[in-house]
Structure 1
């Protein structure tokens, strides 16, 4: 009988632990990952960083802009390594999430990350664009779980504005 109580108590603890994991908000996940969102910079030209129509938010291309205003610049296959490219894509994702939070107020409103388009500043003989953009995709899944899985394109570009390493745009469905 004591063994049954212990087993049942163990099941309750496991269930409570799973409920705690599922109950974490995107903001709590960002905090757990040590990521702080920041006030997005103003657009560099005549466009807006986000447009909401119905329950979709279209986010303009974001580069690997850090909160301090610096960016990761350079070309993959030339002066940046794959790992540096992945870090650039992760930073671009943080920038996208900063804009999204400013646009919708609470990241818990995200129903699904629908589509990510990643552009990689690279040489003609660099073929790992998808591995670079994994830096963004992996973070979105870390923050949103299954809701973060998305359709995606990852393409190479001969150049990007301001020589940034990556530019990523995103479409998000919200509640």
Structure 2
């Protein structure tokens, strides 16, 4: 039986990607107490790297927003795996840290990371409202446009 959040994803016609396996020496999620820390997620979709580019150098804000949304879907997929398939155990999205692969003069990182923040609001409602940082990076792994990590409160 699908839970409330799974039903909400279906209502929004949102499919989650398969949770990606780590490509380096880390684990995708760590739970301590009532917090679940999700490692930085890049825009992968079922093993396929997407959204390679640099904001401010030919990669648009809208493309960056889509990359951020894909990262957010990967965060949800990792949370689902870590919580034994039960997304209803997510009490609140506490914090996101978004890294934007951008040129030195690009300053719209918050607009890019909104792609993730808005998705969390759509899926989790008020529990999706979170603290956030949106920062520039000179480069990101595999040349991706965005990487996002998350802290979730869980039951």
Query: How many residue pairs were aligned?
Result: 152
Where in structure 1 are there 5+ consecutive unaligned residues? 1-23
Aligned Cα root-mean-square deviation (Å): 1.1
Tell me which residue corresponds to 1:87: 66
Matched, 1:153 2:133: yes
Displacement after TM superposition at 1:68 (Å) = 5.1
Structure number with greater Rg is: 1
Tell me which residue corresponds to 2:31: 52
Where in structure 2 are there 5+ consecutive unaligned residues? none
Question: Which portions of structure 1, spanning 4 or more consecutive aligned residues, are displaced by more than 4 angstroms?
Answer: none
Task: Output the TM-score relative to the length of structure 1.
Answer: 0.84
Task: Output the TM-score relative to the length of structure 2.
Answer: 0.94
- Name the CA distance, whole Å, in 1 between partners of 2:45 and 2:153: 25
SS of residue matched to 1:39: coil
1:14-53 matches, cutoff 5 A: 25-53=4-32
Tell me which residue corresponds to 1:107: 87
Larger RCO (alpha carbons 8 Å, 6+ apart): 2
SS of residue matched to 2:88: helix
Higher strand share: 2
SS of residue matched to 2:100: strand
SS of residue matched to 2:49: coil
Q: 2:115 aligns with which of 135, 139, 143?
A: 135
